[in-house]
Chain A
Amino acid sequence: MIEFKLPSLGADMDEGKLLEWKVKPGEKVKRGDLVAVVETPKAAVDIEIWQDGVVHELITQLGTTIPVGTVMARLLAPGETAPPPGAAPAAPVPLAPVAPVVPVSVPAAPPASVPAAPPPAGLGRHLVSPAARKHARELGVDVEKLQGSGPHGAVTVEDVEQAKKGAPKPAPAPAEPPAAAPAAAPAATPPADKALAMRKAIAAAMSRSKREIPHYYLSQTIPMQRAMDWLTARNEKRPVTERLLMGALQLKAVALALKDFPDFNGFWKENAFQPAQGIHVGVAISLRQGGLIAPAIHGVAELSLDELMKAFADLVRRARAGSLRSSEMSDPTITVTNLGDQGVDEVFAIIYPPQVAIVGFGRLAPRPWAADGMIGAVPAVVASLAADHRASDGHRGARFLAAIAARLQQPETL
C-alpha cells in the first residue's frame, strides 16, 4: 500500500487546505498526475503524485487544513490487490483489480530525490481564479465546465455570474438533501485573509533566512551589447508570439553556469550542503495583489531558449492566476530575481531557505564603460549574487558570477 502524503510546498508553507480531490477510489494514477488541489496563501496548488498506482482510499476530507507530510490517501501499487475488508480502516472500495494477480512486489520507498521535471503545462489548462472558484462554490456553479474569458482563458468571477444567470434555475431543494450536497464543499479563504497569510509566510521565510543564513553579496557589471544585438536580430524575424525576453537569457545563463558551480545549486540542511540533482531555477514573480512567489522551472539547463521562454511565460501566467503545481513550489534549487523593469540598478537579495544562493539582475541600461583606454556608453546590467557563506566562499561566488557574465556575453552559447 502506498501512502500518499501532502508534499512540501516550499520552505514557507507548512500546511494547506484541501479544496478538491481530482481522483476517486478505484481510479488509476500515473506518475506526474494531478490528484488534488490544496490552497495555500500563495496559490491554489495542484498536488502531483510521483508513483503509479490505483487509488484505494481518500483520507483527507475536503475543507480540512493539514500539515505537510499528512497521509492524504492510500493507493495500491501496481500488481497489489486490495486488502480484505477490515484489514484497513477504509470503506469497501469498488475496485477493478489490475490483471491477474502476480505475487506482490513491495514497492521500494519513493526516492527522496527531487522528482523528474513534469512536462510543461499545456496551454489548454483550465485556469480558474481563486475568487471565481469561491464564487462558483457559493452559487453552485461547476467551474470546470465554464469557458473562461479572463487572461489566457481563465474563468473569472464574471464568467461564474454569467453562467449562473444563464443556467436554468436550480430545482427546488429536495426535502432531504443528498449526502453529496455541495454544502460540504470547502469555502476558499477570503482574499484579505489570504493576503495576510501570504505576508506572514513571506515574513517567516525571510526572517528565518536573515536569522540563520550568513549572506555574502557580490556584484558584477556585465556589458550586454552582444546579447542585445543577438536578441534583437533573433526577435526581428519572429512574430510577437515567439519572441524571447532578456529574462529568459539570464535564466539560461545562470543554469549553465551552475553546471560548473554545483555548490550554489542545492540546499543547506542538517548542517551540511546537499547538492541538488537537477537545476530547477526558482523565478521570483511579483503578484498584482501584493506579495511574491518563486516557483521553479524544471531542468533549465536542458531546455532550449524557446522551450525556456514558453515555460517562463506559462509559469508567470499561472503564478499570477494563482494556480501552480506542488513540484514547482517545492523544487527550486536556486532563485533568480529580476527587478530591472522597476528601474533598480542592482538587487541585494535575500536567500530563500533552504537554498544557498539567489542571483539578482538590475536594469539593462546604457552605462559608461571603459575599453581600450576610451570611455563609451554601452548597455549593461548589474548581476548580483547573495550566497550562503556556510555553503560557499566569496572566491567561489566571484567565479560563479563571472561564469554567468561570460555566458551572457556569448548569447549564441545559451
Chain B
Amino acid sequence: MDAEGIRKVVLDELRRIAPELEEIEPSKLLRDQVDLDSMDWLNFLVALHERLKVEIPEADYQKLATLDQVVAYLSAKAK
C-alpha cells in the first residue's frame, strides 16, 4: 500500500475512535487534536496492526506523535 492509502487507513481508524473528529493538521501533535486516552490509543494501534499487518512495538510509540509521523512509520514498516 502506498503512503496515500496508508494515510487513508489511519484517518479512517482515527475517525472510528473519535467520530467527532473534523480536520487534522498532519504535522501537529495528534494528542492535542484528538481526545485519545490510553485505551483509545491501544485500540487505534490494534486496528492499524490488523489492517496493515505491521508490528508496532511499544518502544516505538514516541515516533508516532503526529499524523505525518504515523504515516511515515507505517509506510516504512509496510514495505
Which listed residue, A243, A313, A316, A317, touches B58 by the CB 8 Å rule?
A: A243
Among A22-30, A232-240, A251-259, A370-378, the stretch in contact with B: A232-240
Known A-B contacts A236-B57, A236-B59, A240-B56; the reply to A245 vs B42 at CB < 8 A is yes
* CB-based contact A151/B17 at 8 Å: yes
Q: Which A310-347 residues have C-beta < 8 A from chain B? A: 312-313, 316-317, 341-342
Does A211 interact with chain B (Cβ within 8 Å)?
no
* CB-based contact B49/A239 at 8 Å: yes
* CB-based contact B18/A240 at 8 Å: no
Which residues on the A side are within 8 Å of B45 (C-beta)? 240
- A316 to B56 Cα, complex, angstroms: 22
Q: Which B1-31 residues have C-beta < 8 A from chain A? A: 16-20
Does B46 interact with chain A (Cβ within 8 Å)?
yes
Q: What's the dominant secondary structure at chain B's contact region?
A: helix
Which listed residue, A239, A245, A317, touches B55 by the CB 8 Å rule?
A: A239
* CB-based contact A246/B17 at 8 Å: no
| Chain B nearest Cβ from A365, distance in angstroms | 13
* CB-based contact A246/B49 at 8 Å: no
Which residues on the A side are within 8 Å of B42 (C-beta)? 240, 243, 245, 313
* CB-based contact A240/B46 at 8 Å: yes
Which listed residue, B16, B20, B37, touches A151 by the CB 8 Å rule?
A: B16
| Chain B nearest Cβ from A311, distance in angstroms | 12
Interface residues of B, count at CB 8 A? 21
* CB-based contact A240/B49 at 8 Å: yes
Task: Name the residue of chain B whose CB is nearest to the CB of A129.
Answer: B19
Does A79 interact with chain B (Cβ within 8 Å)?
no
Known A-B contacts A236-B57, A240-B56; the reply to A317 vs B43 at CB < 8 A is yes
Does A247 interact with chain B (Cβ within 8 Å)?
yes
Which residues on the B side are within 8 Å of A165 (C-beta)? none
Which residues on the B side are within 8 Å of A288 (C-beta)? 18-20, 35
| Chain B nearest Cβ from A176, distance in angstroms | 42
Does A241 interact with chain B (Cβ within 8 Å)?
yes
Known A-B contacts A240-B45, A240-B56, A313-B43; the reply to A245 vs B19 at CB < 8 A is no
- A239 to B55 Cα, complex, angstroms: 7
Number of A-B contacts (CB under 8 A): 43
Which residues on the B side are within 8 Å of A232 (C-beta)? 58
| Chain A nearest Cβ from B62, distance in angstroms | 13
Does B76 interact with chain A (Cβ within 8 Å)?
no
Q: Which of B39, B46, B50, B59 has the most CB of A within 10 A?
A: B39
Known A-B contacts A150-B16, A241-B46, A241-B49; the reply to A236 vs B39 at CB < 8 A is no
* CB-based contact A240/B39 at 8 Å: no
- A316 to B50 Cα, complex, angstroms: 19
- A150 to B17 Cα, complex, angstroms: 9
* CB-based contact A247/B55 at 8 Å: no
Task: Name the residue of chain B whose CB is nearest to the CB of A285.
Answer: B39
| Chain A nearest Cβ from B47, distance in angstroms | 8
* CB-based contact B38/A247 at 8 Å: yes
* CB-based contact B16/A316 at 8 Å: no
Which listed residue, A150, A241, A246, touches B38 by the CB 8 Å rule?
A: A246
Q: Which of B16, B20, B55 has the most CB of A within 10 A?
A: B16
Which residues on the B side are within 8 Å of A247 (C-beta)? 38-39
Binary flags per residue of B46-70, CB closer than 8 Å to A gives 1, else 0: 1001100001111100000000000
Which residues on the B side are within 8 Å of A235 (C-beta)? 58
Which residues on the A side are within 8 Å of B19 (C-beta)? 288
| Chain B nearest Cβ from A29, distance in angstroms | 33
Q: Which of A241, A312, A317 has the most CB of B within 10 A?
A: A241
Q: Which of A235, A240, A316 has the most CB of B within 10 A?
A: A240
Q: Which A229-280 residues have C-beta < 8 A from chain B? A: 232, 235-236, 239-241, 243, 245-247
11 A–B contacts from the bound complex (CB under 8 Å) = A150-B16, A151-B17, A236-B59, A243-B42, A245-B39, A246-B38, A286-B37, A312-B39, A313-B43, A341-B36, A342-B37
A interface residues (Cβ-Cβ under 8 A, vs B) = 150-151, 232, 235-236, 239-241, 243, 245-247, 286, 288, 312-313, 316-317, 341-342
Known: A240-B56, A243-B58. 6 other contacts (CB 8 A): A151-B43, A235-B58, A239-B49, A240-B49, A247-B38, A341-B38
